[in-house]
């Protein structure tokens, strides 16, 4: 690092998470983008693909990946499709101070889970233990100075922030947890797909990944639970709202009690807002913030805990930058917004 500034590269920068990384880095006084790769867009100016980046990156051109790009770089963000990082990491680990992988390749601790949920064996299982799961609210101490970080998935981030304090406090059972969550279309990535075209998405809400969505494995891992997870695609660009249901594990539970647990757990967390207010995706738009609340319904004997995040912010690129800040010794909140852009 040169003084208080680190040089970073972005591998897979032409997708939505890569573009969000570029946007955040443009406003980050401690991170200087050294290169941005995008093999499918190699030779394309970043400003041509994302005109909003033009003021900050008038001359940046997406490059094809080459390990020589790592020379003189302090940290690397990797935003590639699932499976690609497993073969890439041999060329990256040890060449820079910190790697933050935004894909799912190193999130799960058990190699067998990749066969179960991703339907293919992990090709670099020996590296799984090297990666720290990048949810600072759970693993801040391990992230400080870490050289390999696996940024969590968007749905598991929201779900874990909503439920983990209640699990740790012993207020809810870990069996029979149900999570219903909605996501904006950017969560499906930049390449067009039949179900993400305007005509398919506009004025439509659709459940998908029924009983087998890949993020279920992360939720189970983070909560030590068995989760029934159903995601839904809704006609908005960005945002996730996760509504989580669990059975109480203690008698005499109340809404005040569950809210108190959330408030105490997140009192010193810079990016988590715990309150009685019902979270909304607009409140987190363009930020690294998470808004959470909870209720206890005595009539049905159910705890309801809700979290809202921006899927490209706290659900991906913002959280990746938060982790990079911790790993490189920069202020954790540097370059990251907490105030949403609504209205």
Known catalytic residues are 154
Q: What angle do CA 216, 203, 305 make, to 5 degrees?
A: 35
For residue 300 the two structure tokens come to 């049905």
Q: Which of 24, 11, 7 is nearest to 318 (CA)?
A: 24
Q: What is the residue whose two structure tokens read 């509504």?
A: 243
Report CA 303 to chain centroid distance, whole Å.
Answer: 25
């Amino acid at each position: 690092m040169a003084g208080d500034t680190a040089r970073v590269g972005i591998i897979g920068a032409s997708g939505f998470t890569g573009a969000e990384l570029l946007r955040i880095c443009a406003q980050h006084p401690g991170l200087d983008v050294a290169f941005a790769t995008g093999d499918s867009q190699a030779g394309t100016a970043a400003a041509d693909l994302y005109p909003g980046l033009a003021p900050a990156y008038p001359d940046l051109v997406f490059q094809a990946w080459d390990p020589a790009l790592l020379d003189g770089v302090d940290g690397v963000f990797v935003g590639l499709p699932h499976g690609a990082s497993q073969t890439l990491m041999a060329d990256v680990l040890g060449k820079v101070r910190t790697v933050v992988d935004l894909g799912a390749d190193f999130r799960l601790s058990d190699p067998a889970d990749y066969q179960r949920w991703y339907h293919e064996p992990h090709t670099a299982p020996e590296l799984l233990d090297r990666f720290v799961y990048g949810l600072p609210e759970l693993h801040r101490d391990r992230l400080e100075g870490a050289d390999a970080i696996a940024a969590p998935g968007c749905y598991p981030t929201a779900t874990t922030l909503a439920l983990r304090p209640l699990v740790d406090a012993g207020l809810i059972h870990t069996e029979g947890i149900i999570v219903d969550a909605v996501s904006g279309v950017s969560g499906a990535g930049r390449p067009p797909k039949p179900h993400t075209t305007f005509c398919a998405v506009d004025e439509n809400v659709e459940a998908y990944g029924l009983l087998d969505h890949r993020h279920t494995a992360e939720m189970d891992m983070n909560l030590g639970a068995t989760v029934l997870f159903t995601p839904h695609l809704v006609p908005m660009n960005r945002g996730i709202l996760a509504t989580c249901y669990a059975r109480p594990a203690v008698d005499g539970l109340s809404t005040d009690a569950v809210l108190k647990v959330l408030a105490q757990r997140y009192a010193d967390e810079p990016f988590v807002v715990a309150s009685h207010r019902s979270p909304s995706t607009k409140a987190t738009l363009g930020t690294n913030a998470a808004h959470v609340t909870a209720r206890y319904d005595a009539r049905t004997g159910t705890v309801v805990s809700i979290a809202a995040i921006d899927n490209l912010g706290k659900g991906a690129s913002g959280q990746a930058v938060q982790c990079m800040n911790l790993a490189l010794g920069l202020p954790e909140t540097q370059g990251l917004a907490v105030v949403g852009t609504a209205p």
